[in-house]
Structure 1
Amino acid sequence: MYQTFFDLARAPFPASPDPASLVIYGDLGDQLGELAGCLTSGQGIAVLTGPPGSGKTLCTLAMTRDLTSSLVGICLRTGQFNQPRELLKSVLHGLGHPFRQQDDQDLRLAVADAIHGLPSTSNGVLLAVDEAHRLGMPVLEELRGLTNLDANGRPLVRLLLAGQCGLEEKLADPQLDGLYQRVRGQARLQPLTRGESQSYLKSRIRFAGGDPGSVMTDEAVELLAIVCDGSPRCLNHLADASLQRGAWSATRPITRGEVLDALTESRQLPLRFVEPSRPSVDTTSAPIATGPVEMIQTEDGFCSVEVGAGDAATESPPAADTAPAADGVIGDPAARSMDESDDGHHTPTDEKSVDVTAFDVVLPEANSPHGEHDRPRPHMGLFSRLRRATNRSTDETTSD
């Protein structure tokens, strides 16, 4: 491992959550304090939610550890309880009581006897259930029933439910009104900001007994904060992989290079990282002409599409040598002094008389398979080609 190379007393980014390494950032301390007050006072159920990898399990373990001075802590790390009896057996196991193959009612009585038999110095049980978003309604109702246990008006079971954000929607189901109405404390973990991500990384290194400046450069810390996008799980994984690469290459402190190499390898894992740099958006392209659109079919089989025709009637068109050209539609007037006529020959045109907002769309011939009466309309997309229109008065004079 790399602890010796970087003079660390322990692994700063362990895969298994360690309650002692909990980093308080932003308003996390206030949120956990609110949940702790709800549990210790016995006011009701506490709910902790957050996206995957946001640190829910770590917070749950930390609260279970810190609140055991007057409560017996039981933390069920999985929500894979298909039946209420499986939950009851796990509670008995957490209390240190044996359980036998009994029916549901016998298990309920055994759990109640075990809780009522706790020492008088204990205020009850702190029951924390992680991954609670996986629980079905029968198991959630069984948990609600456990919160009914009391002694002289003092609740004996303090319930903490932790899970992904879908837990909030599940608890809001009308069938669980009896459980949801008992919720008195609720907190949702949010992704870390870039500043909080950098503080998180440095705090974990200090927790491991190291100096952040001698382990990672500021550029490496900043890059980790950018690509991990506020996910503590991604930060832990990528920082750990970067330190391993630094130890293999004898690089201390690690730089952006080690982080980029670790990021390339981590792309194969089901973790979400953002690109370290994104291409800038090109805002220098010419704007598309806007305005009223008028489509007029002419006698020679053309359809004239005029953009901003209403404005052109009241305002004189800009000069050809200064008018901006739309990319891919109208070329440079100085470079295009010839226009294609109907007979396929090129005839010179007066560039100053060209309307840059008018275009001709050629429709299918009258003897096409569509026939004369069911000729497709231009707005249906059946255009054979699009070309620049010339001054109509000049064309009419030439044809006459």
Structure 2
Amino acid sequence: MYQQHFGLQTLPFALTPNTGFFFGLAPHVEALQVLQVALQSGEGFIKVTGEVGTGKTLICRKLLNDLPDSFVCAYLPNPYLTPAELRMAVAQELGIDISSVHDQQQLTGVIQQRLLALSAADKQIVLVLDEAQALPDDSLEALRLFTNLETELRKLVQVVLFGQPELDQRLAQPQLRQLRQRITFSYQLRPLTQAEVAAYVRHRLAVSGYQGRPLFNARALKLLFIGSRGVPRLINILAHKALMLSYGAGEDGINAGHIRLAIGDTEDAQPLSHWHWWLLSGALLLVMTALILVWRGTL
């Protein structure tokens, strides 16, 4: 594609969450710090929420990669599961052979035995669920019952929920108040600021091997912030399209025009207001006037 044209070793703005591109931006670092402190406390539910595309899955994977050996993790990336399916998924993640299990009561007992054995070996067990807003209410209740399993000293399992803001709406329901009260730590991811967007773009380009002059000019970065609303997934989509447009035109950088076209081609991007278009048109007029004056030799 455009990798060779811009001197890149990998695609810098792929949508697949890749911890190799993790950048220590304030909201992501703060979320990880909350998670680490909460897990060390050893009890309760932990919740991280954020709008679509704000980096929840990347933070989830970063957390899983960085957990010390004293933790045993059961990771459920798609928790749209019934209570029975949820128990079976947890059992499989914990390495339990369920081929001889005949009913849910027996399965619950086998899971508890496994948790007790891991706890006796000084292991902390954490159950991590991505896209937790998809969990049915009865499965959320099943999760709460998991945290009832405990020794005299500590809970046998902690639960980390990653979800969209709809998760908070779900948990606000009266029938889920017992689970809501178990949430001891929570964090809400915010979008990136304009300065963070610029740093994010530079970082991903550097990780991808780019070594030249700034590839995105200042105006392009500002429009990228406006069009993406600071949402990392939208930043990646718009930046990728802008690179394709620049490459297709045989150019060696990204300007405001490339970003404008990328925004127009992206359904969830923030449309540029008439005021932004007026500013862009005015800037273009000034540039054209200056070029004409230089050509005439009057400057």
Count of residues in Structure 1 that have an aligned counterpart in Structure 2: 277
Maintained 8 Å contact 2:27/2:190? no
| Structure 2 match to 1:232 | 232
Which amino acid is 2:210 matched to?
G
- Residue 196 in structure 1 maps to residue 196 in structure 2: yes
1:144-155 matches, cutoff 5 A: 144-155=144-155
The structure with the larger Rg is 1
Which amino acid is 1:181 matched to?
Q
Kindly tell me: are residues 131 and 27 of structure 1, through their superposed partners in 2, closer, same or farther at Cα, counting changes over 3 Å? Answer: closer
Kindly tell me: are residues 236 and 122 of structure 1, through their superposed partners in 2, closer, same or farther at Cα, counting changes over 3 Å? Answer: farther
Which amino acid is 1:278 matched to?
W
1:40-55 matches, cutoff 5 A: 40-55=40-55
**CA-CA distance at 1:212 after TM superposition:** 7.0
Which amino acid is 1:197 matched to?
V
What is the distance in 2 between the residues matched to 1:45 and 1:205? 37
Kindly tell me: are residues 111 and 247 of structure 1, through their superposed partners in 2, closer, same or farther at Cα, counting changes over 3 Å? Answer: farther
What is the distance in 1 between the residues matched to 2:216 and 2:204? 12
| Structure 2 match to 1:97 | 96
What is the distance in 2 between the residues matched to 1:13 and 1:151? 46
**CA-CA distance at 1:111 after TM superposition:** 2.1
Long gaps (5+) in structure 2: 279-299
Q: What's the CA shift string for 1:229-248, capped at 9, x where partnerless?
A: 11111101111121222233
TM-score by length of 1: 0.63
Structure 1 window deviating more from structure 2 (129-138 vs 143-152): it is 143-152
| Structure 1 match to 2:25 | 25
| Structure 2 match to 1:273 | 270
What is the distance in 2 between the residues matched to 1:134 and 1:10? 33
Of Structure 1 and Structure 2, the greater strand share is in: 1
| Structure 1 match to 2:2 | 2
Q: Determine what percentage of the aligned residue pairs are the same residue.
A: 31
**CA-CA distance at 1:38 after TM superposition:** 0.7
**CA-CA distance at 1:64 after TM superposition:** 1.9
**CA-CA distance at 1:42 after TM superposition:** 0.8
What is the distance in 1 between the residues matched to 2:212 and 2:202? 5
Which amino acid is 1:95 matched to?
L
1:361-380 matches, cutoff 5 A: none
Maintained 8 Å contact 2:43/2:157? no
| Structure 2 match to 1:80 | 80
Kindly tell me: are residues 138 and 9 of structure 1, through their superposed partners in 2, closer, same or farther at Cα, counting changes over 3 Å? Answer: same
1:307-322 matches, cutoff 5 A: none
**CA-CA distance at 1:84 after TM superposition:** 0.4
1:94-243 matches, cutoff 5 A: 94-100=93-99, 102-118=102-118, 122-211=122-211, 213-243=213-243
Maintained 8 Å contact 1:213/1:253? no
Which amino acid is 2:271 matched to?
V
Which amino acid is 1:274 matched to?
P
What is the distance in 2 between the residues matched to 1:8 and 1:173? 49
Maintained 8 Å contact 2:74/2:126? yes
Higher RCO (CA < 8 A, seq sep 6+) = 2
Q: What's the CA shift string for 1:359-397, capped at 9, x where partnerless?
A: xxxxxxxxxxxxxxxxxxxxxxxxxxxxxxxxxxxxxxx
| Structure 2 match to 1:362 | none
What is the distance in 2 between the residues matched to 1:212 and 1:109? 60
Which amino acid is 2:124 matched to?
G
Maintained 8 Å contact 2:128/2:160? yes
Kindly tell me: are residues 110 and 238 of structure 1, through their superposed partners in 2, closer, same or farther at Cα, counting changes over 3 Å? Answer: same
